[in-house]
Chain A
Amino acid sequence: MAQRPDVKIECRNLSKSFLTEQYTINVLDDISLDVRENEFLVVLGPGQCGKTTLLNCMAGIIMPDAGKILLDGREITGPGPDRGVVFQQYALFPWKTVMDNVGFGLQIKGVGKAERTGIAQRYIDLVGLQGFEKSYPHQLSGGMKQRVGIARAWANNPEVLLMDEPFGALDAQTRYAMEKETLSIWETDKRTVVFVTNNVEEAIYLGDRVIVMSCMPGHIKSQYPIDIPKPREYTDPRFLEMRRLISDDTELSL
């Protein structure tokens, strides 16, 4: 099937349910979605409404019950280094140092130590963790851990980066700083990003396009292209206008 040239990921009619003893929970209900090449796409929705499930399907960690996901026209059958993931709970390997964590993907690929160290160092510098190469995750703060997570995912040079509420566990100030940093990394090293969040401001600050998901049932409500040039100001009138628009939209979905 012919694919439009600038579409990186195509989700067609995705459905996913989970079964408990007494209920079937329809988490995703016939979702279709396109992600364009080098686009920073934000998926916005309240908590517990299936955004993570959608992301995990794109990552290949779980398989949808119905529908398929195409990456560059090829169907996804499982996880792989072409789709990097940044997890909300960091998922850092506690027995590895920061340097070893960041270089993990390269190690799996079989890249030699010297080259690996060089690439990892570049990304450690990019996220601002110079000097912490030999530290262990338990010695780092939440924000620092997530920076390691981002560096690790980015260092593996994936075609797509999937970020699952990466700043959800951080305090407000760290969060603002991380948003800024993510944007600057993305500007330096552009690639396709799908970013999941429940924070409207974060969505508008980061996204080229914001997709609003609703809960009952889990499907895509609406889309908002954000045309404000980056870097954006939280207090810019256009920003506030978008914020109002999207907030009103999400409020109805509760």
Chain B
Amino acid sequence: MSAKDPIDLRQDRREWLKTSATVLGASLLPMPPLTAEASQAATTSLSHPAKTSEAKSNARFFSPAQHALVEELSETIIPADSHSGGAKAAKVADYIDQVLRESFDDNQKALWREGLRLIDVMSQHYHGKSFVNATPEDRIALLTVLSDHVQMTDLPEVRFFVELKRMTVTGYYTSKIGIHDELEYKGNRILKEYVGCDDQGPASS
């Protein structure tokens, strides 16, 4: 699969839903129990949540495997680069977990559980691997399929992508890394004098 090949998302999803372990029509049911592979991925992941979080793991929304998957998904949305850390360093998955854990919106919770499941079904279909085990290029290719079909809001995986991006963006740009390292935000401090265009040099170089 290449990001450049045109994808027929509706055609493809019939295929992957057929070949996935779950039966057709179950796509709106909650996430099935963890697969052995996903558990393995979570426990071996270097980016596993800190010990303080583990102590409260009973209260978490995501299972360890789901948490690892959300970390990789959010990092694919906003990756680390030479300028600053990405969503993983900014602990965006912890933020999303908190929002969902506290949420009163059962539809939102169901969308996340279903969306994470569909991501792995899609990843198996296109790449023969779970998302966590796929290469960075394959991960990008998979999310590109969804990003290119954002108008198909009837599909739960598309709605999930929109929600994933929205919450990753919110979590990242309200984090220390997002505000200070990435955007180098200059405000929220006491000034002697207002600054304006004159103080900052002409607009054009």
A binds B: no
Residues of A within 8 A of B (CB): none
